[in-house]
Chain A
Amino acid sequence: MLSKEKIREMETLALNIRMETMKAFGNLGFGHVGGALSIVDTLAVLYGVEMNIDPKNPDWEDRDWLICSKGHAGPAIYSSLALKGYFPLEELQTLNKPGTKLPSHCDKNLTIGIDMTTGSLGQGASLAVGVALGHKLDQRSNYTYLILGDGECQEGQVWEAVLYAAQVKLDNLITFVDHNKKQLDGYVKDINDMGEIKGKFESFDWYAQEVDGSNVAEIFEAVEKAKAQKGKPSVIVLNTVKGQGWSFAENTVSNHHMTVSPEQMEEALQELEQKLKKVVQS
């Protein structure tokens, strides 16, 4: 079981990731706000406790890997990495600027701590299968974590990867689907309904769970259960809200890519500060 202290630590990290991410978007004036914010609580669990990593040695061979196939959430990962000490926090302000090491989509050749280049949706799924297979071949006991968008799951490539991962029994692959119910043009159910995502994975012979993707304790417990599964890949469907944590974004219908004015950034930071105070006091 998780101690109260650990939960508070992860919640604090999540709020800090959100604040740093909003600062970077605010400084730039725009960004993929919705899908970056909705995955933050999972990032806090992964970078806070679950992932076996060493910021001083980012290429450590036995580290756990994270492949964010919805590469447009990059800015939230950059904030996590900076908070973990992979690079200075100030560097977050260079997001998308000329010559930056922090592009809008994840790039393993540019950013220290980013394990895979993504941005063309669907491709990260196969890459993760390959990485997990490689680790098995090397008889490593590390885990490969994969993050997919719910809209992204419309790509056929995702299901090719899912089918094959079960065939080769990748129990070192733990996948998250950020089920924030929206894609770029609107609600997933109105565009090309993914239906019951957990059930789809189950029918592909995966170990599937569904949790509240804003609840770090639930996410943590699900990852622990996934790790205990042998002989099957695991998926954790995260029930999230696109724009999670900044109420203005949550309430904006079209919140995939948003402009962020200096005032809006301030507003978001204030809201997050308030939440942080509460967490610290709890």
Chain B
Amino acid sequence: MSAILAKQRVKEEQEMRNVYCQCLLELAGKDPRVVVLDADLMSSMGMVPFGKAYPARTFNVGIQEANMIGVAAGLSATGKIPFAHSFAPFASRRCFDQIFLSCGYANLNVRIIGSDPGVTAAFNGGTHMPIEDLGILRTVPNITLLEPTDSIMLRDLVKQTAGLYGVYYIRLLRKNAIRIYEEGSTFEIGKAVEVKDGSDVTIIATGIMVEEALKAANILAIEGINARVLNMFTLKPIDKAAIIRAAQETGAIVTAENHNIINGLGSAVAEVIAENVLVPLERVGVNDHFGEVGPQNYLQEKFGLTAVNIVDKVKKAVARKL
């Protein structure tokens, strides 16, 4: 694995959805088994060019997510490599049993793309705001849960999953991400990436919270706290070794996720700590609320998903150190 940090963390020029579409076009060009499914959100997902290029391998089933996942699982039983998309709440909650049984228990080979994680669903409001998707899916045995941070990671992970077997859920921001990694970086599924070294505390973050964690680390540095930042882009299987190392070397952990603190990253990290090395843990995330409508920055403030919230929790965690 070699992940090189971007020299400048700026908003990317391309939207994640367009990069996703390019990846799928490339994969489909190389491998005739690659097929795409959607549930009336092809245009929202920027996948119209794919449908034009590969009409016979595009299945837009309409508004019926549970059927889509079942069909994807069936396609995979005949050797196809399906990538099925909907908005994350509909791609997870709405078809959980199909994911659990038709995909997981039947040991079939399906990639599920859930878009608009957490508060990034913004103006679509509470019904469309997935704060629980990873939490529900974490209970499916053997599933792999990924949340690519920027387009560089997205490209690498999507290509990797095409060559793997199993059930993969990719939690995908549709819009422009903040560039965290340099072109050419590669990632190992199940291995956290250290985005900043530090010795006083470790912030473990995912998705849009990686950028917030890095901002928080800068603020903390001024105050004399040297924070390590880990990007835990694979929620399952979680990188236990990295968490244990962080606990032993920095003595305190703060998690930061654009998700309910229940059964997401914070819970997964807590499980590892509780069973291995007990250190203070504080969790930044949505504190068991439903979503609501509004601009993303308003929602981040409202639900406590900002760098400032991370700084506060880091201070708490550090103060609790033995």
Residues in A lying within 8 Å of B, measured CB to CB: 30, 71, 96-100, 103-105, 107, 117-122, 151-152, 154-156, 183-186, 188, 191-192, 254
Once the chains bind, are A120 and B60 in contact (CB under 8 Å)?
no
| Chain A residues whose C-beta falls within 8 Å of the C-beta of B44 in the assembled complex | 184
Query: In the complex the two chains form, what is the Cα distance from A108 to B41 in whole Å?
Result: 26
The CA-CA distance from A122 to B127 in the complex, in Å, is 13
Are A122 and B294 CB-contacts (below 8 A) given A103-B126, A105-B128, A183-B40?
no
Check A100 against B294 for contact (C-beta < 8 Å): yes
B88-132 interface with A by 8 A CB criterion: 89-90, 94, 123-128
A192–B89 contact, CB under 8 A? no
Q: Is the interface of A mostly helix, strand, loop or mixed?
A: loop
Contact, CB under 8 Å: A96 / B40: no
B293 beta carbon closer than 8 Å to chain A:
yes
CB contact list, B17-70 vs A, under 8 A? 38, 40-44, 60-64, 66-67
Chain B residues, CB < 8 A from A30: 123
Nearest CB of chain B from residue A190's CB, rounded to whole Å: 9
Q: Which of A103, A104, A184, A254 contacts B41 (CB 8 A)?
A: A184
User: Counting CB contacts under 8 A, is B182 at the interface?
Assistant: no
A120–B94 Cα gap in the complex (Å)? 9
When distances are taken between beta carbons in the complex, the residues of chain A under 8 Å from B295 are 98
Tally of B interface residues using CB under 8 Å:
28
Selected from A97, A99, A107, A121, the residue in CB contact (under 8 A) with B63 is A121
CB of A98 within 8 A of CB of B298, answer yes
Q: Which of chain B's residues have a CB closer than 8 A to the CB of A118?
A: 127
A151 with B127: in contact, given A98-B294, A98-B295, A120-B89 (CB under 8 Å)? no
5 pairs, A vs B, C-beta closer than 8 Å: A96-B125, A98-B294, A100-B293, A107-B125, A184-B40
Interface string of B281-304 (1 = CB under 8 A from A): 000000000001111001000100
Minimum Cβ distance to chain B for residue A67 (Å): 14
The one of B42, B124, B126 in contact with A185, judged by C-beta atoms closer than 8 angstroms, is: B42
Bound Cα distance from A46 to B89, whole angstroms: 32
Q: Which of A103, A151, A154, A191 contacts B293 (CB 8 A)?
A: A103
The contact of A154 among B62, B126, B127, B128, by CB within 8 Å, is B62
